Amino acid sequence: MRSGHGKLSLRGFVAHRARYFQADIAGMDGMASTQQDYPVLSVIIPTVDGFREGYFPRLLEQLKEQTFQEFETIIIKGDPSQGRAINTGADLARGRYLLTLDDDTRLGHRKLFQVLVDILDRYPDIGMAGVPNLIPDDAPRLVKKAMAEIPRRTSPMVTQIVDSDLAEHPCLIMRKELFCRVGGENELIPRGLDPYLRHQFRAKGYRVVVVPGVWIHHLPPSRLSRLLKQFFRNGKGAAYCNKFHPEWVYEQATTHTTPEQVQRKLSYRIARQFLKLGHALVRFHWIYLSSQISYILGFAVGLILLKKASN
């Protein structure tokens, strides 16, 4: 592992930039990339603590098992803003393609990188591509139930390239030139990075797809308390976005075939949240029910704190 790339990330391409944050930056080269100055692929992994319940160290080991090794890995540690961390990595990246991975992602196939690179090489109209997110057979019972019950925590395999809103940051390959041209990640919003970025890529006339044949396992916290804390934090982040940046809030799709995200009024989305509670209750999805209650509480607390701060 090497530290940094010998320069400070200025993130000059970023359209919506937050204040500078001094994160720890480390890099690793894939085995085939040590022979060349410019790898094909730059893998960017933001991580707050460099551990994430043990998921992150296992992910680093899995990178060595990929059949495609013409990549560099850029690790941004300590930055609480995912968007800013990814932009920092993108600014330092030397590859023509960027691949984001969450620190709790588990790679499901040894040819994952190869397939994703081949897709972008072959189809110039595709701007970003993701993969299905499957439930691992060896996951703890709570993790399996959470992934099965909570929408967007899992997605089915596809048999062909599909235009889909389920292409997401846990495993997302993008053309670096296009990523910079659209202004990169939005650093001003704590929630909704995926729909914002998909919208920007489509606005430039590029496809956003999910590809067949490979997959990941994007794992939720293994303890219920941590899962609920995550949803509470997401709710607070959503309250911030609704108050200060409603123009960037989109309704999220839950299947590959759902039309691309649209914008809805806050009253509609609040009603939808309570409707989801009813569905979870009827189906006895107690993990989903608990997570939705935690999200709603976080949203309410966020609005209250923002109102107090503005008075």
CATH number of the domain within which 117 lies: 3.90.550.10
Q: How much is the pLDDT for 260?
A: 58
Tens digit of pLDDT for each residue in 104-139? 999 999 999 999 999 999 999 999 999 999 999 999
Q: Is the pLDDT of residue 176 over 60?
A: yes
The overall average pLDDT reported for the chain is 90
Q: How much is the pLDDT for 5?
A: 46
For 200, counting Cβ atoms within 10 Å of its Cβ (0-12 exposed, 13-18 middle, 19+ buried), the class is: buried
Of the listed ranges 34-38, 154-158, 245-249, the least confidently predicted one is 34-38
Q: How much is the pLDDT for 262?
A: 63
Mean pLDDT of 205-213: 97
Mean pLDDT of 154-180: 96
Last residue of a domain, one of 220, 252, 277: 220
Of the listed ranges 59-73, 80-94, 136-150, 274-288, the least confidently predicted one is 274-288
**pTM of the entire structure?**
0.91
Question: What range does the domain containing 238 cover?
Answer: 225-310
Of the listed ranges 15-24, 59-68, 116-125, 270-279, the least confidently predicted one is 270-279
Mean pLDDT of 200-222: 96
Last residue of a domain, one of 220, 248, 264: 220
Q: How much is the pLDDT for 263?
A: 62
Q: How much is the pLDDT for 32?
A: 61
Shared domain for 234 and 197, answered yes or no, is: no
**Number of folded domains that form the chain:** 2
Q: Is the pLDDT of residue 33 over 70?
A: no
Share of the chain above pLDDT 90, in %: 75
Shared domain for 230 and 295, answered yes or no, is: yes
Q: How much is the pLDDT for 7?
A: 54
Share of the chain above pLDDT 70, in %: 91
Q: How much is the pLDDT for 252?
A: 78
Of the listed ranges 33-42, 182-191, 256-265, 294-303, the least confidently predicted one is 256-265
Shared domain for 258 and 300, answered yes or no, is: yes
DSSP secondary structure of the chain: -EE--SS----TT-SS-------EEEEEE-GGGGG-SS-SEEEEEEESSS-TTTHHHHHHHHHTT-S---EEEEEEES-S-HHHHHHHHHHH--SSEEEEE-TTEEE--TTHHHHHHHHHHH-TTEEEEE--B---TTS-HHHHHHHHHSTTS-----SS-EE-TT--TTEEEEEHHHHHHTTSS-TT-SS-HHHHHHHHHHHTT-EEEE-SS--EEEPPPSSHHHHHHHHHHHHHHHHHHHHH-GGG--PPP-STTSPPP----HHHHHHHHHHHHHHHHHTT-HHHHHHHHHHHHHHHHHHHHHHHHH-
Shared domain for 100 and 154, answered yes or no, is: yes
Q: Is the pLDDT of residue 48 over 60?
A: yes
Mean pLDDT of 211-237: 95
Q: Is the pLDDT of residue 229 over 80?
A: yes
Shared domain for 152 and 268, answered yes or no, is: no
Mean pLDDT of 10-22: 92
Shared domain for 212 and 237, answered yes or no, is: no
Shared domain for 91 and 191, answered yes or no, is: yes
Q: Is the pLDDT of residue 4 over 80?
A: no
Shared domain for 48 and 195, answered yes or no, is: yes
Shared domain for 166 and 270, answered yes or no, is: no
Shared domain for 114 and 63, answered yes or no, is: yes
Shared domain for 284 and 181, answered yes or no, is: no
Q: Is the pLDDT of residue 207 over 70?
A: yes
Mean pLDDT of 140-156: 93
Q: How much is the pLDDT for 22?
A: 87
Mean pLDDT of 135-147: 94
Shared domain for 140 and 157, answered yes or no, is: yes
Last residue of a domain, one of 197, 220, 243: 220
